[in-house]
Amino acid sequence: MIKTPDTESARNAPQLLQPTAMEKDFEMDFFTEGNPASRRDLLLATAGGLALALANPARAAQNKPNIEAPIASAIPYVEHRISHDGHMIYAREYPGQDPAFVMMHGFPDNLHIYDYVVPYLTRAGRRVVVFDFLGFGQSEKVVEGYQYTFKQQVGDVAAVVDALKLDRFIPVGHDSGGPCAANYALENPDRVAWLCLLNCYYAESPTWRLPEIIEVFGDPGLKELAQAFLTNPDKMDWLITFQDNHFQVKMPPNLRERFVGIVRPIVNGNFAAGAGPAFAQMTSQVRESVAYNTSRLSDVRQFTTKVNLIWGALDPYLTPATAAAIAANYPNSEVKSVEAGHWLMIDMPAEVAQLLLTSA
């Protein structure tokens, strides 16, 4: 375990807004003339190349908004490297009052999506744990023969909370981390103080839709279309631009700046650091996972522990109607809305933190 200074959280965010050495190497390799094989291999490795948001020089040259760093955490975090399935999960624990918030990211992301909200929770004296699922962020990335699955992610959560000896905690799941948090809670109700879901999906419902890039790379019937994008950097950059614009369609200018200045660099850095294989496998299983979750709705309706859904109302994919539909399946649930986009913990960190704290 390695203790870090309490200013570390504040230092991390500005670094996220600048290209890392790995990202610079990525750009140099990508633009090397006469090397189409390596270029195609990189595209295939990133399974749709979300990292290609870095690949368009015109977009990279755009002035990035001046985004403030997160406020400093009142408590320094402790790093943990936790074993699951023989591989290493990277976690950060901020000591404090239990029950701890254990915060889970989605599959394009890593633990840094919580950088802005965590300091508000630690200033309130709460214990917080953030971690990267296997294949993402600083956790181990297994390339040869390993299958990343939604079941494996539930196992990642179990490994983290068991290693940190958390008897009862608050699972907080965002995006594809939401189904993981919900399924862990169903399987371990005695370990859950209450469940928090942030802009996620669960079962089949007409109230939500997948982002187009996940539709393309997650649908076996669109395999040829996906390959057409994969083998053409210009087409892929068009798709990335299309997706970025659609995530921002309902956002006011200040939230668009946060998307460009915080969310996009986190995702770019995640993929440049090797998260592509995990993303590829996870997206290919979304529909199967949703079908499985739908089969568990009878269990969901018997889950009497409190469930709070804190929701960014400006999300064009996982809309407020999605939150209402999920909440309707839980006997003890409440939806709390925030005027934010999909990454609400980045858009409105103080408001989200306050809702987490008042829900306890």
Per the CB < 8 A criterion, the answer to whether 123 and 74 are in contact is: yes
CB atoms within 10 A of CB 2: 8
Which residue type occupies 84? Answer: H
Mean pLDDT of 318-346: 98
What confidence tier does 233 reach under pLDDT thresholds 50, 70, 90? confident
**For tokens 């169903």, what's the residue?**
186
Please check the confidence at residue 131 and state whether its pLDDT lies above 50: yes
Instruction: Give the start-to-end residue ranges of the domains of the chain.
Output: 13-68+210-283, 78-209+300-359
Helix, strand or coil, per DSSP, at residue 103: strand
pTM of the model: 0.83
- Looking at residue 57, its pLDDT comes to 39
Residues comprising the chain, all counted: 360
**Span 32-48, pLDDT tens digits:** 333 333 333 334 444 33
Taking CA atoms, 275 is separated from 210, 267, 294, in Å, by 20, 9, 28
Per the CB < 8 A criterion, the answer to whether 48 and 238 are in contact is: no
What whole-number percentage of the chain has pLDDT above 70?
A: 81
Cα separation, 48 vs 79, in Å, equals 31
Residue predicted with more confidence, 167 or 11: 167
What confidence tier does 217 reach under pLDDT thresholds 50, 70, 90? confident
Concatenating the DSSP letter of every residue in 311-337 gives EETT-SSB-HHHHHHHHHTSSSEEEEE
Interstrand relation of 87-94 and 126-131 (parallel, antiparallel or unpaired): antiparallel
Cα separation, 144 vs 133, in Å, equals 17
CATH assignment, 78-209+300-359: 3.40.50.1820
Cβ burial, residue 327 (10 Å; 0-12/13-18/19+): middle
* Closest CA relative to residue 170, chosen from 299, 10, 307: 307
Cα separation, 203 vs 180, in Å, equals 12
Mean pLDDT of 225-247: 84
Please give the mean pLDDT across all residues of the chain. 84
**Span 243-258, pLDDT tens digits:** 999 999 999 999 999 9
**For tokens 């993402």, what's the residue?**
136
If you ran DSSP here, which 8-state letter would residue 138 be given? T
Cβ-Cβ contacts under 8 Å for 284 (sequence gap 6 or more): 217, 218, 220
What confidence tier does 359 reach under pLDDT thresholds 50, 70, 90? confident
Helix, strand or coil, per DSSP, at residue 310: strand
Joined tokens for residue 197: 């879901």
Report the range of poorest mean pLDDT among 22-26, 150-154, 299-303, 338-342. Answer: 22-26
Buried b (16+ CB within 10 A) or exposed e, 46-83: bbbbbbbbbbbeebeeeeeeebebbbbbbbbbbebebe
Residue predicted with more confidence, 352 or 216: 352
Joined tokens for residue 322: 């999605």
